[in-house]
Amino acid sequence: MTSLAIAGLMGLALAHAAHAHRSCTESLLPIGGNTIWVDLEGAGNVTVVFEAGFGNESSVWANITPMIRSAGARTFVYDRAGLGKSAIDTTAPYSLDNDVSVLRSALNTCGIEGPIGPPRGRGSRRVATIGSGQEPGDDAIPVC
């Protein structure tokens, strides 16, 4: 009887984990009045978060993310509110704090945890730096 209960709980946990991953693969998430497009793919203990800067959207990463996944990491790509496949709530004023809140909500919804640090490049550096609570450094895990 105990074995059946444990097997049932493990099955529920696996189903929940699979559902969480599926729900974030090429999906739209309602966050703070916005509709945010996200794509979580791959397997592994490390997730590389890709955020496009300078007004670009997620398609700029299309040739890079398969290489990251082939190296054994998961990739999380998203379109910021109002860019690419994401829609923005035009009644709310824009702020970096809102961008950070949207990213944090998307990561939480998709079950992505762990240290997240600022990128080594430019473009999305301000959003990622504010969101991580860190200054850029060599020991931070980069957000691309």
For residue 2, pLDDT over 70 is answered with no
Residue 136 has a pLDDT of 43
For residue 34, pLDDT over 90 is answered with yes
Residue 21 has a pLDDT of 46
Each residue's pLDDT tens digit, 58-94: 999 999 999 999 999 899 999 999 999 999 999 988 8
CA distance 59 to 65: 10
Question: How many CA atoms lie less than 13 Å away from 80 in the CB half-sphere?
Answer: 20
Q: Topology of domain 22-132, per CATH?
A: Rossmann fold (3.40.50)
For residue 11, pLDDT over 50 is answered with no
Give Cα 19 distance to the centre of its chain.
Answer: 16
Question: Residue ranges of the domains in the chain?
Answer: 22-132
77 class by beta-carbon count within 10 Å (0-12 exposed, 13-18 middle, 19+ buried): buried
CA distance 38 to 28: 6
135 class by beta-carbon count within 10 Å (0-12 exposed, 13-18 middle, 19+ buried): exposed
pLDDT tier at 15, thresholds 50, 70, 90: very low
109 contacts 25 by C-beta, under 8 angstroms: no
0.85 exceeded by pTM: no
Q: What is the mean pLDDT of residues 102-121?
A: 79
Residue 118 has a pLDDT of 54
